[in-house]
Amino acid sequence: MSTRKKLKYGEEEIQKAALETWPNPSPDRDYDIDISFPEFTCLCPRSGYPDFAVIKVLYVPDKSIVELKSLKLYLNSFRGVHISHEDVTNRIFDELKKKLSPRYLEVVGDFNPRGNVKTVIAVRTGEK
C-alpha cells in the first residue's frame, strides 16, 4: 500500500499554478486595476513560522490583463515557500511585470505584525 497522500483538487491546482493573461478589452485608454489578496501566506526563511499578509496589486494595463483565478492560484503557491517579505514581494512584481508589460505596476506586501514588528514592502515601476 502506498503511503503517498492523494492531493485534493485545490492542492493540485495550486501546484500547477501559472499566471495567465487575457487581451485588454480597452487598450486605448488608461484605467486602474486594483486587486487585493487578503489571505496571503508564506513561511519565514529563518524560523519556518508562517507569515501572513495582504498582497495588493495596482496596475494600468497595456495589451494584457491578468486572469484572476490564475493570480489567486499563483499567490497561493507561496504558502509552503520559505521566503522573506522583500523577496516574495519583488518576485510577485517581477512575474507580473514580465507577463503583463503594464503601463504602470505597483505591488505591496502588507505583512501582519510578528514579534512586535510590522513590515510593508512596496515595489513600483515609477510614476503613475
For 27-43, the pLDDT digits (tens) are 999 999 999 999 999 99
Contacts of 37 (CB under 8 A, 6+ apart): 54, 55, 56, 57, 71, 72, 75
For the chain, domain boundaries: 15-124
Q: Tell me if 125 sits within 8 A of 61, measured CB to CB.
A: no
Average of per-residue pLDDT across 3-32: 92
Least confident of 2-6, 34-38, 45-49, 72-76: 2-6
- CATH architecture, domain defined by 15-124: 2-Layer Sandwich (3.30)
Residues catalogued as catalytic:
44, 51
Q: pLDDT value at position 2?
A: 57
First to last CA, the chain: 58
- pLDDT tens per residue across span 66-122: 999 999 999 999 999 999 999 999 999 999 999 999 999 999 999 999 889 999 999
Average of per-residue pLDDT across 54-75: 98
> Is the pLDDT confidence value at 3 over 90?
no
